[in-house]
């Protein structure tokens, strides 16, 4: 018996890793991927749990071989099996990208009608994760049909491959993603390195993505081995990063520290897949500390896998919460323009209401205190306070 389809469920908690797109867009090279794998180790991100190294669009040559197999471009001179080995040798897992159409979003060959052939290639190369996009001609087939074909192909090969559906949330993939073998599915359009994007430009800002996650109300579909995906992290990115330069979006500055804290706090509260999207060879100290914050990662990786949801929105102060195995996490977000105190009560959020006393733990400062039920935090504009609340 090989380790194929072993008893461990794939992505029992949301996958953590790094993906090339936001940092390098279509200019990605083999050297960038090796550097990213090395940097995951050196920065401590691997030891904090970031495991998957995923090569996004543009790794493939513009022609398949005569049988329709994908071939690596000249920017990957040693080929994908060697690159997978390099990544595996650092204690990491390796991912690739293709599309459920005739072409990828950047016009390279993709996998529609060649699912089995490509799944076998991925397995032979040692691929552990497939991000499967929605570009190219669909040959008249709907999303469920096209994504089910790759799901069946991946299930037929002798390797466990995490299946990441990237259909942008257009056909409510949270309603069928699990059924077609998916382990995560994009619930939203592409996230850009902005707080808010204008409606006429490409993508969603962090605040736009949170609005979308609140609106679609997909939390019931979310859980172990099947995750709603609000897209990859933009922490560390700004005007010069690959995606910002490539897409039709005007990025004027990196996210501020408050905006980055909000981005990370909410992705953890949503129990989102955390795919770092910045060039790790120039990761700042602030971003490294943010991405490796153990208190936040424990919320993201809580074994119950419950997605956080809004309890109160619509004014300048928002409250969201997430049930945890031993209590709950509560986020206090300031949407306004000045500092404010935001308050709530354990009875108004997703915390088990069974105690007279609760311990409260500030996930940014590590400060601890007790309460009989009231919770109040002072929060800067665009920032988010997040606490872990445990019944005593
Ligand atoms: C988009 C996808 C992005 C990225 C890009 C590559 O469709 O949402 O995450 O993969 O294609 O071309």
Residues 320 and 296 in one domain: no
Evaluate: CB of 204 within 6 angstroms of ligand 1.
Answer: no
pLDDT at 8: 67
326 and 371 Cβ atoms separated by less than 8 Å: no
Evaluate: CB of 133 within 6 angstroms of ligand 1.
Answer: yes
Residue 55 Cα, ligand 1 centroid: separation in angstroms? 11
DSSP element (H, E) containing 343:
strand 340-345
**Strands 274-276, 16-19: parallel, antiparallel or unpaired by DSSP?**
parallel
Active site residue 133: yes
In order along its 392 residues, the chain shows pLDDT tens digits of 344 554 568 999 999 999 999 999 999 999 999 999 999 999 999 999 999 999 999 999 999 999 999 999 999 999 999 999 999 999 999 999 999 999 999 999 999 999 999 999 999 999 999 999 999 999 999 999 999 999 999 999 999 999 999 999 999 999 999 999 999 999 999 999 999 999 999 999 999 999 999 999 999 999 999 999 999 999 999 999 999 999 999 999 999 999 999 999 999 999 999 999 999 999 999 999 999 999 999 999 999 999 999 999 977 999 999 999 999 999 999 999 999 999 999 999 999 987 899 999 999 999 999 999 999 999 999 999 999 999 99
Residues 252 and 369 in one domain: no
Residues 118 and 35 in one domain: yes
**Strand partners of residue 368:** 361
Pocket test residue of 166, 231, 237, 275 for ligand 1, highest count of atoms within 8 A of CB:
166
Residues 361 and 216 in one domain: no
CATH of the domain at 156: 3.20.20.70
Residues 258 and 336 in one domain: no
Pocket test residue of 98, 131, 133, 209 for ligand 1, highest count of atoms within 8 A of CB:
133
Owner of token pair 């990761």 = 283
Residue 371: which domain range? 309-391
Q: What is the DSSP string of 67-127?
A: TS---B-TTSTTHHHHHHHHHHHTT-EEEEEEESSSB-TTS-B--TT-HHHHHHHHHHHT-
Owner of token pair 């390796």 = 94
Which residue lies with its CA nearest to atom 12 of ligand 1?
Answer: 105
Residues 178 and 246 in one domain: yes
Residues 180 and 276 in one domain: yes
**Which one-letter DSSP state was computed for residue 223?**
B
Spatial neighbors of 4 by CB under 8 A, at least 6 apart, are 158, 159, 160
CATH of the domain at 358: 2.60.40.1180
The number of distinct structural domains making up the chain is: 2
The active-site residue out of 56, 57, 190, 208 is: 190
**Strand partners of residue 317:** 334
Residues 283 and 322 in one domain: no
Active site residue 190: yes
65 Cα distance to chain centroid: 32
Evaluate: CB of 21 within 6 angstroms of ligand 1.
Answer: yes
Alpha carbon distances (Å) from 144 to 111, 148, 186, 346, 366: 15, 6, 14, 40, 45
Q: What is the dihedral of CA 263, 264, 265, 271, to 10 degrees?
A: 110
Residue 249 Cα, ligand 1 centroid: separation in angstroms? 14
Residues 296 and 317 in one domain: no
> Which two structure tokens, joined as six digits, stand for 252?
């004027």
Residues 262 and 334 in one domain: no
Evaluate: CB of 167 within 6 angstroms of ligand 1.
Answer: no
pLDDT at 355: 84
Residues 73 and 202 in one domain: yes
Residues 293 and 334 in one domain: no
Domain boundary (269, 300, 331) is at: 300
Q: Describe the crossing of helices 115-125 and 79-89 by its angle, rounded to 10 degrees.
A: 50
**Which one-letter DSSP state was computed for residue 234?**
-
CA–CA gap between residue 193 and residue 212 (Å, rounded): 16
The CA radius of gyration of the chain, in Å to the nearest whole number, is 21
Domain boundary (300, 321, 342) is at: 300
pLDDT at 315: 77
pLDDT at 387: 98
């Amino acid at each position: 018996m090989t380790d194929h389809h072993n008893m461990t469920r794939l992505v029992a908690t949301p996958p953590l890793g790094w993906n090339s797109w936001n940092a390098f867009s279509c200019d990605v090279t083999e050297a960038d991927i090796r550097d990213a794998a090395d940097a995951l180790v050196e920065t401590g991100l691997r030891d904090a749990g970031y495991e998957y190294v995923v090569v996004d669009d543009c790794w493939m040559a513009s022609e398949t071989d005569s049988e329709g197999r994908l071939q690596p471009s000249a920017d990957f001179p040693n080929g994908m099996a060697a690159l997978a080995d390099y990544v595996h040798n650092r204690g990491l897992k390796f991912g690739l990208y293709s599309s459920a159409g005739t072409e990828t979003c950047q016009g390279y060959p993709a996998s529609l009608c060649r699912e089995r052939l490509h799944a076998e290639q991925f397995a032979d190369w040692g691929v552990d994760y497939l991000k499967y996009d929605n570009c190219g001609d669909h040959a008249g087939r709907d999303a469920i049909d096209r994504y089910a074909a790759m799901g069946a192909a991946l299930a037929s090969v002798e390797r466990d491959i995490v299946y990441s559906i990237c259909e942008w949330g257009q056909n409510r993939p949270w309603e069928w993603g699990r059924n077609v073998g998916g382990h995560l599915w994009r619930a939203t359009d592409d996230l850009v390195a902005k707080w808010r994007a204008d409606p006429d430009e490409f993508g969603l800002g962090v605040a736009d993505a949170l609005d979308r996650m609140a609106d679609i109300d997909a939390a019931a579909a979310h859980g172990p081995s099947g995750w709603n995906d609000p897209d990859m992290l933009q922490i560390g990115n700004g005007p010069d990063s690959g995606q910002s330069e490539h897409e039709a979006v005007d990025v004027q500055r990196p996210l501020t520290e408050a905006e980055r804290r909000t981005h990370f706090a909410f992705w953890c509260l949503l129990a989102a897949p955390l795919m770092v999207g910045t060039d790790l060879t120039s990761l700042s100290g602030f971003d490294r500390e943010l991405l490796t914050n153990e208190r936040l990662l424990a919320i993201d990786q809580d074994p119950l896998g419950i997605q956080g949801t809004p309890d109160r929105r619509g004014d300048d102060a928002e409250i969201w919460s997430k049930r945890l195995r031993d209590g709950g996490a509560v986020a206090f977000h300031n949407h306004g323009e000045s500092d404010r105190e935001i308050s709530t009560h354990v009875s108004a959020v997703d915390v088990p209401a069974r105690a007279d006393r609760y311990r409260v733990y500030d996930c940014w400062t590590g400060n601890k205190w007790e309460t009989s039920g009231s919770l109040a935090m002072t929060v800067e504009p665009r920032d988010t306070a997040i606490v872990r609340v445990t019944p005593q």
